[in-house]
Structure formats: structure tokens, C-alpha cells
Structure 1
Amino acid sequence: MRILLFLLTNIAVLVVASIVLSVLGVERYISGSGLNLTSLLIFCAVFGFTGSIISLLLSKKMAKWGSKAQVIEQPRNHKEQWLLTTVQELAKEAGIKMPEVAIFPAHEANAFATGWNKNDALVAVSSGMLDRYPPDEIRAVMAHEIGHVANGDMVTLSLIQGVVNTFVMFFARIAGYAVDQFLRRDDEEGEGSVGWGYYIATMVFEILFGILASMIVMWFSRYREFRADEAGARLAGKGAMIAALARIQSEHEMSHMPDSMVAFGIRRGRKSSFGELFSSHPPINDRIAALQQL
């Protein structure tokens, strides 16, 4: 869910910025002689990174809102006190500041971490996991999430998304300009200028290229899950990390949960090879196998 919210915010900012700038005629990279590619690249970089940075800065607020997570200000019972103490110990061992700790209402076993930097983060666990799972497995899952924070995964994801945004906008405008000039090839007065065909084609190409480029972002997302699993094993023990993953997989296979669990990323079986390209998390069997080889 944290990844989905991040991407949706990023896309919304990108599309709104493109529309507003187009309407206001701010796109100065189009001149009488055609496209100024240097100016175009700078323009795309500025607004490409703006979308990802805004998404990063809003990530904690959006995660709290989207999951209805309640931050533990004062522990109300033994479990909440234990959770705070556990996260504090893991954060200290990982070399980061104590993140906010929250619980969100969900029967499924889930957890997530987010935040704009490793010293101002949020980690959250579902009420179902906190109620059902043994302490060592909960500790392993929280260690996994602390691993995401300590590895700076959200910042790295934002940088990758910024680069992806830049080139999506860049190539979409080149393609849109080419389409517009082709449609207006018999209009001599239209040379060096653009019509509505440019804006429509650019928007279509932005969506198409954005879908293709998301494969790069999803590849990194899968890669960082292996790194977070390794961090979880280092902080809480390999056996506990494997046991937590195996338990979640077992619950998932015995239930009617959706194919993608929103936070911890456990999903049933394997998707098609094409579907794997757009998956934010690797299959759990692959994650367990990687841990066993550590």
C-alpha cells in the first residue's frame, strides 16, 4: 500500500503539473526551429523530481490515512508497551532514531514502514498480527520494516522514480511533437509550433511510457524486499524471519485473501512471467530460499 500511495501521488502531481504548464504555455522548449532538447530535459527533470519528492514528503501522512493507523503515544496495554520497546531496541541496533510506531486495524498479518528519511520514519503492524503471532516472529517482521528504514529504501525509491519521471516526460514530449508535426505536415504556418494533437499525444505517451517505466520501479521494489529480509534476519535471527514468512504464507494459502496483501507483500503462488514484472514483492518462496542461503 505504501508503494501504491507513493506512485499515485507521484502520478497525480506529474499529470496536474503537465496540464497546468501546458495551459499556461510555460513549455519554452518549443521554438520556431523545433524542440530544444537541452531545455526539454531540464524542464522534465525539474517536474519529474518534483512529483517524487512531494510523494516522499507526504508518505507518512498518506500511509496513516490510507491504513487508518493509530500512532502509539502512550501504551495502553502490555502488548503496546512490548511493541514500543522492541522497535526501540531494533532501531538502536540498526543505528537509526526511534520511528513512530502505529497499529492499524486489519485481521490479516501485515506491517509496513515509510517516511521521508531514516530518522523520521513510521513503522506499523496490523492488529491481527499483534494478536496472533508469537513475539519472536513479530520482532522479525518489525526488524524487516526497520531494515527498510535503515536501508533508506523510500529515499532511493523516490530518486529512481524521479529519474523515471524525467525520461517518461522527455520521450513522451518528443513523441507527441513528432505526431503533431506529422498531422500538421501540410500546414506551413504550423512549423515550429504545436496544436492540440501535441498535448493529446503527449498525454497518451506519458501514460504508455509510465506503465512501461513502472517495471523499473517494481524491480527495485522486489530487490529491496530481499535486502529488508536480510536485515530482519540479522537483527532478529534468520530462523524467526523464515518462520514469520512461512506463517504468513500458510495463513494466506488457507484463507480467501486477495492475491496481493497490501503491506507485507505476501501473495499466493506465482503470477505469469509478465505479471511478475509489475509485482512490487517477490514470491514468498523465493524470499525464504534467499534467507536459507544466508
Structure 2
Amino acid sequence: MNLIRTAMLLAFMTVLFMAVGFVIGGRGGMMIAFVLAAAMNFFSYWNSDRMVLSMYRAQEVDARSAPEYYGIVRELAKNAGLPMPRVYIIDSPQPNAFATGRNPENAAVAASTGLLQSLSHQEVAGVMAHELAHVQNRDTLTMTLTATLAGAISMLGNFAFFFGGNRDNNNPLGFIGVLIAMIVAPLAAALVQMAISRTREYSADRRGAEICGNPLWLSSALGKIARAAHVVHNDDAERNPATAHMFIINPLSGERMDNLFSTHPNTENRIAALERMAREMSTGSTGAGGPDIATRKSRSVPRTGWGRGGSEPPKGPWS
């Protein structure tokens, strides 16, 4: 059902984009909008991962520079039957994580230093399993396309302000069409983007719990991340709010409500769903999906080798 809903919302975004082009320039404008959307999506398909990782100055790590963190991801990818993604660390005190990439073969996962310092080994496994679920479900591509279309619709809305009301163009709806293109269409696109993001988060929570083997690992992590995310600012995210939907918890300050304007579901609702899943699975303290992960020490991540330069993060509970 979630997959069907996502497909319908993506189709609506495409139709909306072409409709704005039609309002601005008739059939010719609609065709230009279609070509523009195709070009933007093509560029995003090939370059979105590098752009996002660059925005957050993420450092790639490997089994030698960050053995415990890298090992968690490696075990989880094996559990999920996924190729090993590239693994990154973001130098940010806010605990958070995201995944990116156009497909499982070209995926990357990133966790902040704040997340690795404040969460237990099992909780980190729950978070990274959630991110790998996004990769497996190809949500990273879906969210890139929706973000691109939403931005393009807003751009066309601004374009309509300057050219849509001219009587000499092909605008079939006149000034009313300009208002629709300027106000209604960008708002509708933003709402659809947020709805898709919320839908995919619930799916990734469930699949992530299956990958790591214990829903309570992820539910515990979500509670800790949500509490910290609204106290510790993520300056890079504040400068790039269009990327907020990529994170496991909204990194922007002041976002707590599960409503039409939220990029993420309410954290309490997500935790409740995971706790119900745990009862259904009758899980114990050790996850069925990853015994190697469960038996490791919860505070065994070394303080050295977090980045290419080998710099140490501030001391935390994993130190």
C-alpha cells in the first residue's frame, strides 16, 4: 500500500509540474516543463549523492579508520543482502544519520559524530539498519526526485509572476492561472513531498527493525535522537533545509508536530509502531537478524580514526 501511495504521489507531482508549465505557456510551456523536469531529474540521478555529502562535509571511512562503525554497517548490509555501501561520518554534535545514492549499488550512509558518541552499539545498529532500509527500498532515489520536482515547481511559480500575466503569451487562464502557479502549486508540491517522506519513514522503520533483528534498538535510538535534535543545532542542515527529509529525525529546530507541514512522522508514533512490532516478533534482548552485532560491546567504538585525518571526536559514552 505504501508503494502504491508513493507512486501515486510521484505521478501527481509530475502532472502538477506539467500543469504549471501549461498555465504559464499553454501546450508549449507544458512541453518545456516536461523537458526541464527530465533534465533536472537526470542531473539529480547522477549527482545528488555527491552534492549532499559535500554539503555536510562528510568524510569517508573504512574498516581501518573506523572499524566498529564500519563493521556495524558491513554486518547489517550482509543481513539485508545489500552491497556494501560507502560509509561516511559527519562532524556534527547533533545525533543524526542519512542515506543517499541512486541505487543499492551506488549507495552511501552517513552518521554524525554526535550519534556515534551518544548512542549504544545496538542503537547505532538500529539507526544504520533504518538507513539501509531506505537504500533497499530505493527511497533515496524517490526522495531525490520529489525534492527536485518540488524545487522546479517553485521555480516555475516564480517564473509565472514575471511572464504568466502577459496577454501576449499563451497563458490560457490569465491572472487566475498566475496565482495558481505562484501559490497553490508550490504549496501542493511541498505537501506531497512531505507526505512521501513520512510514508517512507514508517516503511524504513519496519524494514530496519527486521534487518537488525530487534525493533527496540531503533525505538530507543529514535527517542534519544529526537530529544537531542531539538536542543543541539545542525548548522549545515539549517543552511540547507531542503535536505531535512533525508535524515532519520528532522534536523531542523522547532519541528515536533505530525501534521501536513512535517517532513517526518511524530517520533512517539514511530516508537509506538516499533514497540508493537517487537511484541509481535516476541524479540528478546538479542536480535535474530544479527548475532554478531548484538554480542559486541556497546561501548567499544575507538576514539581514533573517525576521519581521514585521524582526528578524535569529543569524549562521549563510547569513549
User: Normalising by the residue count of structure 2, what TM-score does the alignment of the two structures yield?
Assistant: 0.63
**Counterpart Cα distance in 2 of 1:281 and 1:146:** 17
Give the aligned partner of residue 247 of structure 1.
Answer: 224
**Counterpart Cα distance in 1 of 2:179 and 2:39:** 18
Is residue 126 of structure 1 aligned with residue 112 of structure 2?
Answer: yes
Aligned residue identity for 2:261? F
Partner deviation per Cα, 1:176-195 (whole Å, 9 max, x = no partner) = 877322xxxxxxxx5x679x
Give the aligned partner of residue 135 of structure 2.
Answer: 149
Structure 1 SS opposite 2:89? strand
Give the aligned partner of residue 30 of structure 2.
Answer: 41
Partner deviation per Cα, 1:96-120 (whole Å, 9 max, x = no partner) = 2111001111112111110121210
Partner deviation per Cα, 1:229-266 (whole Å, 9 max, x = no partner) = 1111111111111111122234346x4547x8853324
Contact 1:45 1:162 in 2 (8 A): no
Contact 1:107 1:126 in 2 (8 A): yes
**Counterpart Cα distance in 2 of 1:164 and 1:256:** 28
**Counterpart Cα distance in 2 of 1:146 and 1:232:** 7
Partner deviation per Cα, 1:211-243 (whole Å, 9 max, x = no partner) = 331110111011111111111111111111111
Deviation at 1:161, TM superposition (A): 5.2
Structure 1 SS opposite 2:105? coil
Match of 1:265 among 249, 256, 261: 249
Tell me: higher relative CO, structure 1 or 2? Use CA pairs within 8 A at least 6 residues apart: 2
Aligned residue identity for 2:91? P
Give the fraction of aligned pairs with identical amino acids, expressed as a percent. 28
Deviation at 1:289, TM superposition (A): 1.7
Match of 2:215 among 238, 245, 260: 238
Aligned residue identity for 1:240? W
**Counterpart Cα distance in 2 of 1:241 and 1:149:** 17
**Counterpart Cα distance in 2 of 1:85 and 1:94:** 14
**Counterpart Cα distance in 2 of 1:229 and 1:222:** 11
Closer, same or farther: CA 133–170 of 1 in aligned 2, 3 Å: closer
Contact 2:86 2:108 in 1 (8 A): yes
Give the aligned partner of residue 55 of structure 1.
Answer: 44
* Aligned-CA RMSD value: 3.8
Give the aligned partner of residue 266 of structure 2.
Answer: 283
**Counterpart Cα distance in 1 of 2:165 and 2:254:** 43
Closer, same or farther: CA 204–81 of 1 in aligned 2, 3 Å: same
**Counterpart Cα distance in 2 of 1:66 and 1:174:** 30
User: Normalising by the residue count of structure 1, what TM-score does the alignment of the two structures yield?
Assistant: 0.68
Structure 2 SS opposite 1:130? helix
**Counterpart Cα distance in 2 of 1:137 and 1:170:** 43
Give the aligned partner of residue 4 of structure 1.
Answer: none
**Counterpart Cα distance in 1 of 2:49 and 2:255:** 30
Q: How many residues in Structure 1 have an aligned counterpart in Structure 2?
A: 242
**Counterpart Cα distance in 2 of 1:256 and 1:158:** 26
**Counterpart Cα distance in 1 of 2:271 and 2:37:** 36
Aligned residue identity for 2:44? S
Contact 1:104 1:127 in 2 (8 A): yes
Closer, same or farther: CA 250–218 of 1 in aligned 2, 3 Å: closer
Give the aligned partner of residue 197 of structure 2.
Answer: 221
**Counterpart Cα distance in 2 of 1:143 and 1:100:** 14
Deviation at 1:129, TM superposition (A): 1.6
Closer, same or farther: CA 173–248 of 1 in aligned 2, 3 Å: closer
Q: How does 1:100-119 map to 2 (within 5 A)?
A: 100-119=86-105
Structure 2 SS opposite 1:119? helix
**Counterpart Cα distance in 1 of 2:115 and 2:221:** 10
Q: Which protein is bigger by CA-based radius of gyration?
A: 1
Contact 2:255 2:262 in 1 (8 A): no
**Counterpart Cα distance in 1 of 2:143 and 2:133:** 15
**Structure 1: stretches of 5+ with no match in the other structure:** 1-26, 182-189
Structure 1 SS opposite 2:99? strand
Is residue 209 of structure 1 aligned with residue 185 of structure 2?
Answer: yes
Closer, same or farther: CA 281–170 of 1 in aligned 2, 3 Å: same
**Structure 2: stretches of 5+ with no match in the other structure:** 1-20, 239-243, 278-319
Deviation at 1:156, TM superposition (A): 2.0
Deviation at 1:55, TM superposition (A): 2.5
Contact 1:53 1:158 in 2 (8 A): no
Structure 2 SS opposite 1:279? coil
